[in-house]
Amino acid sequence: MRWVVLLLALIAAGPATAGGDAKRGKTIYAQCAACHTVDPAAPKALGPHLKGIVGRKAGAVEDYVYSPPMRRSAVIWTAETLDAFLVDPQAVVRGTKMPFSGLPTPRDREDLIAFLAGL
């Protein structure tokens, strides 16, 4: 049932694309910055760095200890997969250790993804 609800929500919302407002996305990223950096050379954070995330395989940042489900995941981070993950991380990678309940607003996701795509 949960999958059906998530699927219907994603269809209704439409996919986020990198066509969002990256400047606004940087502001939204401030919520992510508590755990993630955008600089691979920065000291380790709680989560993996996000530079170059678009087009990268999930669980691929070296020197970051991912959950086993994330390491085994076949997910490639595209605008569409990031959008779905930002709605409900557990629905995309069940068992991810990312403690995030989701970003419900399609515009916020689109803008955040535009920011991340530009890194």
pLDDT of residue 5 exceeding 60: no
- Please measure the distance between the N-terminal and C-terminal CA atoms of the chain and give it in whole angstroms: 36
DSSP structure class, residue 107: H
Taking the domains of the chain in order of start, what are their residue ranges?
Answer: 2-117
Interval 78-89: pLDDT, tens? 999 999 999 999
Residue type, 55: G
What DSSP letter does each residue of 23-67 carry, written as one string?
A: HHHHHHHTTGGGT--S-TTSPP-SS---TT-TTPBTT--TT----
For residue 49, give both structure tokens: 């760095």
Please give the share of the chain, as a percent, with pLDDT higher than 70.
85
Query: For the whole model, what pTM was predicted?
Result: 0.83
Mean pLDDT of 28-49: 96
pLDDT of residue 2 exceeding 90: no
Contact between 16 and 82 under an 8 Å Cβ cutoff? The reply is yes
Mean residue pLDDT of the chain comes to 89
Task: Give the pLDDT of residue 17.
Answer: 47
b/e code 9-42 from CB counts within 10 Å (16+ = b) = ebeebebbebebebebbbebbeebeeebbbeeee
Task: Give the pLDDT of residue 11.
Answer: 46
Mean pLDDT of 32-41: 97
Q: What is the CATH number of domain 2-117?
A: 1.10.760.10
pLDDT of residue 118 exceeding 90: yes
